[in-house]
Amino acid sequence: MIWIEFLLCASLLTFFAYHLCEEGAVISAKTNISEGVIGMFFLAVATSFPEIVTSATAVFSFGRIGLGYSDIMGSVIVNLMILFVLDVLHKKGRILTEASHLTRLTGFFVPVVTGILLAGAVMRMSGIELDLGKRMGLESILVIASYLFYLNMVRRSNDVKKPVDRPDGGSFYKIWAKFAFFLFIVMLLGIWMAKIGDDMMVKTGLSQTFAGALMLGVATSLPEIIVSFAAFRASSIDMAVGNVLGSNLFDVCIVPVLDGLSPGPIMGLLTPGQIIATVLALVLSLIAVAGLLVKRARKGRISWDTALIFIVGFSGFVILYFVK
């Protein structure tokens, strides 16, 4: 029964979150925020809203810090593994070589913010306190500062993509009403998904790390995956890659929100399994950066970078299954 409930919630979450992204893009195109960093931030929130709600509910409502945190890291890992599928389907060479300057810049910042979190966790394990009050850690402030610095670099680069032409979508107020409706539904489904994750751990004996990273990570990443495949089918390879990397960057920046909802600095409350998940997300992000830097053409149907990401990611999930 729990698996039927999980599949039902995941399907509904994918459907409504995808339409939330669509309405967000229409709003962005109809207003002055369609170009620039405000538009990027607005669409990032819309795209990553399932992760925000599910992880925040797991931490704040159910006290499952590991479940919520692992959902974020799992989303990062799953998104990067999708690059392998896109790369195999792409017949004109390595997809990471077609990334624009903005996409490469985004890809470089993902391991930066992930590395900050990992460094904070390691330092806390060593007894070094990085607290800024009872709830927020210094690493969370640095992650937020890094994201703001990234947005400033994007603004200065003048390389923000123009929005894709979309159907009119109706009156301005009708579009906002649809956006608010989808936002509300996704919020309810995110709360439900967090409850399912909590029940799944109790009934199956899965750890918070594995249930969050694989089950919730996959479920909350499905909307981004669909958007990336839609961009790929439209022959917009850079948009497909940029959506993956942009989603990952914003997902990692959700951790400071979880930090504020936790009883203490979240990086000091992680288990070894959750630290391994962070290491895995960092390693895969670094492999992606290497793929963005190396321009060598691939030999055969499979590229070395995305294949390595998939192999390491799959192996990492196997390890997380056995780590309690």
**pLDDT at residue number 79:** 93
pLDDT at 169 over 80: no
Q: Please state the rounded mean pLDDT for residues 261-282.
A: 94
Q: Please state the rounded mean pLDDT for residues 63-77.
A: 95
CB 226 within 8 A of CB 80: no
**pLDDT at residue number 168:** 54
Q: Please state the rounded mean pLDDT for residues 3-25.
A: 86
pLDDT at 67 over 70: yes
CB 241 within 8 A of CB 35: no
CB 244 within 8 A of CB 228: yes
- Least confident segment among 19-33, 81-95, 186-200: 19-33
Helices (H), ranges, 126-216: 138-157, 172-204, 208-210
Domain count, the chain: 1
pLDDT at 35 over 50: no
What whole-number percentage of the chain has pLDDT above 90?
48
CATH assignment at residue 43: 1.20.1420.30
Q: Please state the rounded mean pLDDT for residues 279-296.
A: 93
Question: What would the pLDDT profile of 199-221 be if each residue is shown by its tens digit?
Answer: 988 888 889 999 999 999 999 88
Note down the domain range covering 65: 2-322
